Amino acid sequence: MSDIEITQEDRNAAASVTVLSSMRSLIRLGKSDDHPLVQAFAAHRRSSAQRTIVGVAAWLDQSAQLLREIGSELDDEDHLATRIANDRAECAQTIAQLDVGVVDKLARQHELMA
C-alpha cells in the first residue's frame, strides 16, 4: 500500500470507472485502497494540491516583493506588509487543512530553496 492518504472522494472516483459492481463496492467501502485506480486518483489529487500550493505561495511571494519594491512610495508600507503576511498565513492555514503532509513537505522545500 502507498503512503498517500486515500480519501472517500478518491474511492468514489475510482469506483465510478470500475466495471465490476463487486469491485465498485469493495472500493467504496475502503477495502481496496491498494487498487491501482484508487492509488491513481489519490496521486492525482495530491499532485493537484501540490501545484495549487506552490502556485499560491509563489503569487504571495511576488506580491510581498512588489510591495517591498514600491514601499517607499506608499504611505503605509508596514500596514500593507502586515496585511500580506496575515493573508499568506490565512491562505497557508486553509491549504493545510487540505493535506497537512503536502504543505509541510512544500514548506520545507521552499525554505531550502530560499
Examine residue 59 and state whether it is found in any structural domain, yes or no. yes
Which residue in 49, 40, 100 sits closest to 32, CA to CA?
40
Helix (H) or strand (E) holding 111: helix 100-113
> How many structural domains does the chain have?
1
pLDDT at residue 100, as a whole number? 59
Examine residue 3 and state whether it is found in any structural domain, yes or no. no
Q: Which domain holds residue 50?
A: 8-113
Examine residue 1 and state whether it is found in any structural domain, yes or no. no
45 phi and psi angles, rounded to 5 deg: -60, -45
Examine residue 62 and state whether it is found in any structural domain, yes or no. yes
Task: Read off the pTM.
Answer: 0.50
Examine residue 2 and state whether it is found in any structural domain, yes or no. no
pLDDT at residue 35, as a whole number? 92
Per-residue model confidence as pLDDT tens digits over 89-102: 887 777 766 665 66
